[in-house]
Structure 1
Amino acid sequence: MEDLAKTTRGNYEEYVNSGLTRLLKFMGLDKVEWEAEALTVKDINGDEYLDCLGGYGTFILGHKPPKVVEAVKEQLDLMPLSSKILLNQPLAQLAEELARITPGDLKYSFICNSGTEAVEGALKLARLVTGRSKIITTENSFHGKSYGALSVTGREVFRKPFEPLLSEVEFVPFGDINSLEEEIDYETAAVIIEPIQGEGGIILPPEDYLPQVRELCDKYETLLILDEIQTGLGRTGEMFACQHYEVTPDILTLAKALGGGVMPVGAVIASAELWEVFNQNPFLHTSTFGGNQLACRAALATLKEIQNRNLVSSTQKLGDYLLDNLKELAIKYSSVIQEVRGKGLMVGVEFKDESYGGVLISELVKEGVLAAYTLNQQRVVRLEPPLIVTKRQLDSVLRKFDKALSKVIELAS
């Protein structure tokens, strides 16, 4: 096995990305993952890790959830991919289920393969319906790295190398309703916002922010796109994070957790009124692999598991427990920790310097816990364990977090 591990590292260096390989080696993360189940990931040497990163929110049911795997295996024997010319039963069933569980009058769905594809579809729909081209998004946001999604992603380091991107995209500070009010007008097709900024550092808006955004969008007949790719499907203690704020979008995007950690699945969901433009011309927005039977069966099984196991309710309780205990650690280690914040099992620990976070991640790996930075803010280490995590497992993570933080202090002094 050690020979295979060495070969894998060499192949990463030579054929995948040498810069990434060096970074992972520096942080002690150049382990070769081999198998996983529930919260446990095993590397090729048999060492075990508790996964508190969860594929950036993908493994909502843990790794290899039996019911989802069973559904995919069953479908594999029937028909893995769609002919794209006949009716696809799992696709139709998934669209019906998404209409049932999403807020307000959201009804029609386009099923794709990823979050960035979902954002692309949402932006196209908004411009098509309104006949307008201006899009307002927020600073520090993350919506993906394909062309349109990157254009509305609020971090210059990702956008700058690929400019010029989409025109008529304006950025305003997240959580600042006055800035949005100054920018929005009757030329604005859509405002796209994450209810909670994930890659931005687990940033929660003021409680009245999203309702006020909704009011402004209504005033200017502008569409509100809520990106629930990371926050949706129970992650924050509600089925959708917008429900904390009693706000319904015109267009909702989903991905990550929707495939249950087994298949890549994304979705754009909108009202029947908006969808009429796609009904009139079904070929304006299509995908060869999107909505395939394997992916749809995985998504259906995932949604069923979330509801049957009452994971939304339990996530709220477990999230409160994790957040309260991490805040106690923040007091204990106040010399290095700036703040702890989050909702449900989406929690960020912000350090006073990003170097502390790097040390913490490395020390956590040594303790058998997987965690990572938020992409736009490397001072913030996120904890997003699967929603099936137990209180006992959280206690184990907290003990190891405490031990790793003591090492951070030791190295910082």
Structure 2
Amino acid sequence: MSKYLPTYLSKEDNLSAEEAQAIHDQTGRVLEANVVPFLAKAQRIMGSAFLEWRGEGKYILTPDGTKFFDCVGAGGVFGLGFAHPDIVEAVTLQARRGGLATRAGFIPGQAELAEKLLSLTPKSLQYVYYGNSGTEAVEAAIKMARVATGKKKLIGTHLGYHGMSVATISLSGIGMWRDGIGPYLEGTQLVTHGSLAALEEVVDSDTAAVVLEPIQWASGCKVVDKDYFKGVKALCEKHGAMLILDEVQTGLGRTGKVFAMEHWDVEPDLLCVGKVLSGGMVPISAVVYNQRVHKGERMRPLFNNSSFGGNPLACAAGITTLNLLSDRYFQRAEKLGDLLGESFEEIKSKFPEHVAGYHGLGLMRCLEFSNPLYGAVFAEWLRRDESIITAAMGHIPQFVRISPPFICEDEDIVALKESCLRVIGELAKYTPQELFSDFNKTLQKVQVELAKPIEDQEGALA
């Protein structure tokens, strides 16, 4: 074993409780002091911190062997779970040949991956750009739309999410990420998602593109009317604007279709994909686009450029992922999504006072609670008592995102339903006032700790 490996990789997969705790504490100290001070400190004080040591199938495992069933997957990355053996094999073989590329020559993986992506998208989409993240894909798409149309105006939505750059946040409307980073990208405007009338008021001859998610996973997974996207497309065509669909989270099986746009039978000018495409192994994203967009960029072949985009490692992971999805997991995701929807219907019927509803399609779902505190407590107790990882949305905590991987068995969805029922049954024993009192005590501990000078904070590095 090389003496230059990271310290943690020199350790065994399974450790004693004492050694696991020592690594957990040291990791937490550094994260609190130097990386994510607020989050790491809050997790420690609230008792929700754990060490994400390795992944195996649908589980995250700690060094002492504790398993957590992953039902959020970094916003949908782990459709095929963790460390899928076929993807590990592909990436390992490519790494032996070389991980990245000079980009001076042809890269076979880029060509093969493009062919496979284009075989899954509408025939009107003929070209592929590779990036490394959803943010990068949406950035590239809006640049292409502006160049192709010669216009500047861009329309996003109030509760949309398209990434973490200034440009993509300018098209996103979630305050916890948006507030304080202005001035925003010139020419951007936000409307209500799902309202064609709102779009009709702002889309005009100066509009370069309308940027939409088919389903807003970060904001409750509500599904828009069946005629909405056809109306948006017609509006874009009327004014010469591009339609950009951000399917970074919804694409490649997550909603029960290969792409969520199939639910509305609409074809965008530019389609952004990512997350699942990585196979949970190597970051990659892509923009798939049509001839009209290509005409605008054809004399500027490097105006969208990336040192790491479309690298051989990422392409190897992406190709293997698409092969696996096409072989069996697209169909599997659709079946599991139906089962998850039925499970949520049962949960709602048994606890109508606590569960206001559920939203989404396929394996992209949110439970909506009647009280925001119920959602926050439910997600935490599900982790604490049932070892299931979900996500209560910080800006709208009454919505809890629950999105299992495609590799699940039917029994896993049934077990997930039973876990949810047990946790809500326990939650129902308390009034909102009692839950708030308990929650507020913990929150006050976090606030007191954060108010201390850095050198006095518990756990701070010397």
TM-score (norm 1): 0.97
SS in structure 1 of the partner of residue 302 of structure 2: coil
**Paired residues of 2:148 and 2:292 also in contact (CA < 8 A):** no
Distance in 1 between residues matched to 2:269 and 2:335, nearest whole Å: 30
| Paired position in structure 1 for 2:311 | 292
| Paired position in structure 1 for 2:77 | 58
**Paired residues of 2:343 and 2:414 also in contact (CA < 8 A):** no
Structure 2 counterpart of 1:68, which letter?
A: I
Distance in 1 between residues matched to 2:44 and 2:420, nearest whole Å: 21
The match for 1:372 among 364, 369, 391 is 391
Identity among equivalent positions (%) equals: 35
Q: Deviations over 1:6-54 (max 9, x none)?
A: 1111111111122101332355420001111111111122111111112
SS in structure 2 of the partner of residue 161 of structure 1: coil
Structure 2 counterpart of 1:319, which letter?
A: G
The match for 2:89 among 70, 82, 86 is 70
Matches within 5 A, 1:99-114: 99-114=118-133
| Paired position in structure 2 for 1:318 | 336
Distance change (3 Å), C-alpha of 1:364 and 1:5: same
**Paired residues of 1:199 and 1:375 also in contact (CA < 8 A):** no
The match for 1:222 among 215, 222, 241 is 241
The match for 2:361 among 320, 325, 343 is 343
| Paired position in structure 2 for 1:302 | 321
SS in structure 2 of the partner of residue 64 of structure 1: coil
Structure 1 counterpart of 2:116, which letter?
A: E
Structure 1 counterpart of 2:415, which letter?
A: S
Structure 1 counterpart of 2:378, which letter?
A: L
Structure 2 counterpart of 1:57, which letter?
A: G
SS in structure 2 of the partner of residue 110 of structure 1: strand
The match for 1:241 among 244, 260, 271 is 260
Matches within 5 A, 1:162-181: 162-181=181-200
Structure 1 counterpart of 2:37, which letter?
A: S
Q: Does 1:79 align with 2:79?
A: no
1:351 CA drift (Å): 1.2
**Paired residues of 1:198 and 1:374 also in contact (CA < 8 A):** no
Distance change (3 Å), C-alpha of 1:178 and 1:193: same
| Paired position in structure 1 for 2:30 | 11
Distance in 2 between residues matched to 1:314 and 1:45, nearest whole Å: 32
- Greater than 6 Å deviation, 4+ residue runs: none
The match for 1:383 among 391, 397, 402 is 402
The match for 2:345 among 294, 315, 327 is 327
**Number of equivalences:** 412
- RMSD between superposed Cα atoms in Å: 1.3
Q: Deviations over 1:103-146 (max 9, x none)?
A: 24111111110000000000100000000000111110000111
Q: Does 1:270 align with 2:318?
A: no
SS in structure 1 of the partner of residue 322 of structure 2: helix
Distance in 2 between residues matched to 1:128 and 1:278, nearest whole Å: 7
Distance change (3 Å), C-alpha of 1:71 and 1:372: same
Matches within 5 A, 1:90-105: 90-105=109-124
1:331 CA drift (Å): 2.1
- Based on CA coordinates, which of the two structures has the bigger radius of gyration? 2
Distance in 2 between residues matched to 1:380 and 1:27, nearest whole Å: 20
| Paired position in structure 1 for 2:57 | 38
Distance in 2 between residues matched to 1:136 and 1:87, nearest whole Å: 36
**Paired residues of 1:31 and 1:44 also in contact (CA < 8 A):** no
Q: Deviations over 1:336-390 (max 9, x none)?
A: 2111122000110011222111211111112111111235532210111111111
Distance in 1 between residues matched to 2:400 and 2:95, nearest whole Å: 38
**Paired residues of 2:220 and 2:359 also in contact (CA < 8 A):** no
SS in structure 2 of the partner of residue 122 of structure 1: helix
**Paired residues of 1:363 and 1:407 also in contact (CA < 8 A):** no
Distance in 2 between residues matched to 1:91 and 1:374, nearest whole Å: 36
Structure 2 counterpart of 1:338, which letter?
A: A
| Paired position in structure 1 for 2:370 | 352
1:266 CA drift (Å): 0.7
Distance in 1 between residues matched to 2:121 and 2:45, nearest whole Å: 43
**Paired residues of 2:359 and 2:367 also in contact (CA < 8 A):** yes
| Paired position in structure 2 for 1:202 | 221
Q: Deviations over 1:239-290 (max 9, x none)?
A: 0000111000000001111111001001111113311333312121100111
Distance in 2 between residues matched to 1:121 and 1:412, nearest whole Å: 49
Distance in 2 between residues matched to 1:411 and 1:46, nearest whole Å: 32
Structure 1 counterpart of 2:309, which letter?
A: G
Q: Deviations over 1:45-65 (max 9, x none)?
A: 211111111221100101111
Distance in 1 between residues matched to 2:259 and 2:123, nearest whole Å: 12
Q: Which runs of 5+ in 1 are unaligned?
A: none
**Paired residues of 2:176 and 2:395 also in contact (CA < 8 A):** no
SS in structure 1 of the partner of residue 356 of structure 2: strand
The match for 1:120 among 139, 143, 157 is 139
Greater mean deviation of Cα atoms: 54-63 or 224-233: 54-63
Q: Which runs of 5+ in 2 are unaligned?
A: 1-19, 433-462
Q: Deviations over 1:196-246 (max 9, x none)?
A: 111011121111101111111111111000000100001111100001110
Q: Does 1:232 align with 2:251?
A: yes
**Paired residues of 1:262 and 1:298 also in contact (CA < 8 A):** yes
